[in-house]
Structure 1
């Protein structure tokens, strides 16, 4: 499978089978995340692997959705602001950007192994931080549920046409939205 095929295969899965994920697949996913690029190679991320029933219940309290509870495991991706590169000209901390890159590596690696995933950012951040003892100077960026998709049908992706997204030598203008 080439990279374009992998990106076409990856989608947000919101129904999971009860089948557990094999440890070697989890190891593969985490290794792919560990190898993700980061600004100045600072690697300002931490991953919390959540598999036990007790820990899964804690995550589900932070994002109480029926479909979310179906996933057999979660990875909480955290950004460590104090370890990230900060752009000198405007003091922009890149921890969230780097954590987002690692998160997408997790999602693509899961798809590569026949697993489904979904970025979840709409959770109770304070509760998650407290329940998983995430220290100050770090914060959760995303929760990624991972498991075998319960559905074989994949929704048709809704993507903007390339001409709305890319333009040579100028910023692309979406003519539909600027009228």
Structure 2
């Protein structure tokens, strides 16, 4: 397990992994990542989510069918994070916060995975209707993100935050826009 000095160090070292070792991920580590997602905050504490852990065939092939990319196939685990629109909090103008709540849980999970030496990648460009059909996801649930989970083969780009990220001065406004 990697050691991080503080949260900023962990956040800077997490990256989108697109090359996975095929060795299996220990159940304790999978359960740790799931637990961190479970305790994530949500609007009005409604927790409008279900997490599908996909490790076995034919279900792995089903997930791959919904997102057919070569790099994606080798991840030993897929976490399919689904939002329940029947119980999610809606703002007075009707805005549904299910996606936001799921994103918070997903981000907690990606950081927990990184802390354990595991890699993830946010995958949202999949066929949600096909995934719902293949994994028998109920109509009130929407698959929001797939997190492939496994041991990384690559190391990321250590300087990416200096070269590819906007600087604070470019994105922060004080007191008003």
Work out which of the residue numbers 47, 72, 80 in structure 2 matches 1:76. Answer: 80
1:29 correspondence with 2:33: yes
- Separation in structure 1 between the aligned mates of residue 51 and residue 114 of structure 2, nearest angstrom: 18
Residues 1:160 and 2:166 aligned together: yes
* Aligned residue number for residue 131 of structure 2: 128
CA deviation string 1:101-150 (max 9, x = no partner): 11111101100100000000000010001111111111000000000001
1:54 and 2:61 matched: no
Q: Which residue of the other structure, out of 95, 99, 106, is the alignment partner of 1:96?
A: 99
Distance in 2 between the 1:10 and 1:56 partners? 25
Partner of 2:58, secondary structure, is helix
For residues 96 and 47 of structure 1, the distance between their equivalents in structure 2, rounded to whole angstroms, comes to 14
- Give the RMSD, CA atoms, in angstroms: 0.9
Alignment match, 1:147? 150
Distance in 2, matches of 1:17 and 1:133, equals 28
* Partner Cα distance (1:137, 1:19) in 2: 34
**Unaligned stretches of 5+ in structure 2?**
none
Q: 2:68 aligns with which of 46, 64, 67?
A: 64
In the alignment, what sits opposite 1:177?
none
**1:112 aligned residue:** 115
CA-CA distance at 1:170 after TM superposition? 2.1
TM-score (norm 1): 0.92
Question: Which portions of structure 1, spanning 4 or more consecutive aligned residues, are displaced by more than 4 angstroms?
Answer: none
1:165 to partner: Cα distance:
1.1
Mark the runs of 5 or more structure 1 residues left unpaired by the alignment. Answer: 172-179
| Distance across 2 between alignment mates of 1:106 and 1:67 | 20
Taking the aligned partners of 1:15 and 1:130, their CA distance within structure 2 comes to 27
2:23 is paired with a residue of what secondary structure?
A: coil
